[in-house]
Structure 1
């Protein structure tokens, strides 16, 4: 059974903040200039080096400010309310959390998560079945990592992506093939760690 980020078990995981700074990822790894915790940056660089020749990681997003996270939640929740008139708040939060994490447990807010894909030597994205950030509704559920209905190339590319990231201790959020994290509450619950090591951050990026 898939554990969603709205699950009470995620909120129950304690956070013991380690204080690792936010750092900007190398330009060749993230042309968009994504920032993440320093340890996660090291893990992503290591994962990128494990990929087959001619394939690279491309990180689209890392740390996300609280206000931006809240705006994404509000926007997607409004879409779901329109699709499901009369839905109660509990069910709305559960459905919303398939695509965007509740503010208090959001891995992106802690600098603990990245949205990423694979690219070729020209920087063109490989086929992974859907666009990054395709909602469950837009993708007819193909955004789930283990979704049926994607092609053989997309399935193979997802396996390659998972292989290098899992080797560096990252975990996937199963409803989004592109979302991987380390050190947050969800990671701690999935791996059996005693606590998360990253909470929300508001600090400047380290030089």
Structure 2
């Protein structure tokens, strides 16, 4: 069974923040101009260069504010609660984390993750089986990277995406074929790294990324951090 982001093993990974800045991805990655940590940006450029001629990476999201992350968690957890009315709080947290990470370990909030797909020679998004951000409920599980009922061309594109991103050190979140990360706690757990490199970013424009030491034990400090991040 896949390890989900709400698994306690993810939160237990130590963080050794390296304070790399957020940088803006170039137009070759699409019009979103997403911001990610510098180390991730370099790896994405290497992956881009490994794709066949006429195919490119199309990044639709990188860094996400803590406020936006909390909003997505609230909205999706409400939908999950409706779909699974008998779920315990722990089960609800796990089910929710199939689609959106808990704030404390969220790769997007750390600038460590991208949501991306493949584009064709004219910039058109290619079919990888489901739209980006299709929930498990909407896609009947088709959003999972290894979903069995994906047609062969879409499966081949997912495999191509996985090959070029894995070769530069990124890891996939298996319930979302489009979500890949580097340097966050989930990445560290899945690769066996001793610590994560990137924690939640507070000051987006600092030369060295300023982060907030999020914990589940200090709600007042977390709320203060949310106000600063917003």
Structure 2 partner of 1:177: 177
Structure 1's unaligned 5+ residue stretches are none
Which residue in 1 is equivalent to 2:220? none
Query: What's the CA shift for 1:28?
Result: 1.9
Runs of 4+ displaced beyond 4 Å: none
Q: What residue is the counterpart of 1:89 in the other structure?
A: 89
Preserved CA contact (<8 Å) 1:23 1:205: no
State the shift of 1:206 in Å: 6.6
Residue ranges of structure 2 left out of the alignment (5+ in a row): 208-230
Match of residue 120 from structure 1 = 120
Q: How far apart, CA to CA, are the structure 2 residues paired with 1:201 and 1:168?
A: 23
Matched-pair contact (CA < 8 Å) for 1:22–1:37? yes
Query: Deviation at 1:132?
Result: 0.2
The corresponding residue for 2:143 is 143
Alpha-carbon displacement from aligned partner over 1:28-53 (angstroms, at most 9, x marks no partner)? 21311110000100100110010001
Tell me the residue number matched to 2:55.
Answer: 55
Partner SS, residue 138 of structure 1? helix
Q: Quick check: 1:170–1:181 contact (8 Å CA) kept in 2?
A: yes
- How high is the TM-score relative to the length of structure 2? 0.88
| In structure 2, distance between residues paired with 1:30 and 1:119 | 9
- Partner SS, residue 202 of structure 1: strand
Residues 11 and 185, structure 1, Cα contact 8 Å, conserved in 2: yes
Distance 2:151 2:133 in 1: 18
- Taking structure 1 as the reference length, what is the TM-score of the superposition? 0.98
Give secondary structure in 2 for the equivalent of 1:110: coil
Query: Residue 162 of structure 2 aligns to a residue in which SS?
Result: helix
Q: Deviations over 1:48-85 (max 9, x none)?
A: 01000100000000000000000000000010111122
Tell me how far apart the structure 2 counterparts of residues 171 and 84 of structure 1 sit (CA, whole Å): 29
Equivalent in the alignment of 2:18? 18
Q: Deviations over 1:6-31 (max 9, x none)?
A: 00110110000000000000012131
Aligned length: 207
Shift of 1:140: 0.3
- Partner of 2:60, secondary structure, is strand
SS at match of 1:28: helix
**Residue 76 in structure 1 maps to residue 79 in structure 2:** no
CA contact (8 A) 1:144 1:175 kept: yes
RMSD value, Cα: 1.0
Q: In the TM superposition, what whole-angstrom CA distance separates every residue of 1:85-112 from its partner, at most 9, and x where no partner exists?
A: 2422111100000000000000000000
CA distance in 2, matches of 1:196, 1:20: 13
User: What whole-Å deviation, never above 9, does each CA across 1:158-194 have from its counterpart, x for those lacking one?
Assistant: 0100010001000000000000000000000000000
